[in-house]
Amino acid sequence: MTMYYGEIALKLKLRAKYLIFAILAAVFTVVDQMSKEWIVNVTENVEGRGFTVIKGIINFTFVKNDGASMGLFGGQRIFLILVTVAVFAFGLWYFIKNRPDNMLFLSATSLIASGAVGNLIDRIQLGYVRDFIDLDFVNFYIFNFADCAICVGAGLLILYAFINIKE
């Protein structure tokens, strides 16, 4: 099979895109893990301990979450690990099979993957996820940077789907 220079250039460009987004996912995962280590050190690993960042808006309050988003499936560590690994494996299979190259799609999936890996690391190592971002102006669950990455990535994925709806 003969490849033309244009085809080779396209394949190299696509691989470079994938590398950039893999690095982006790795950086977000490292930032997530570093932020969690930081809050554990600041609060001396005492659950419920924290401090005000901006009065009336945001606090950092350390909590141990043994469930998923909003405490769902609390205490179901093995189940949550298996679901995360299965979803990650499906995503990897999709990438290998379809070779997506849309920047919005790649950004979304990189964020989702980094958040999933960040929380998976906690769940495997500790048996719970370290959460600490506490929005004071709304009655909402405490979360972390990995959760933010997943939510922003999911929003971008929905935007991608709306933009690419085939009539």
- Active-site annotation, residues: 131, 147
- How many CB atoms within 10 Å of residue 69? 14
Q: Answer whether 106's CB lies under 8 Å from 27's CB.
A: no
Alpha helices by DSSP H, listed for the chain, are 5-42, 77-98, 103-126, 145-163
- How many CB atoms within 10 Å of residue 63? 21
Picking from 150, 156, 158, the residue whose alpha carbon sits closest to that of residue 69 is 150
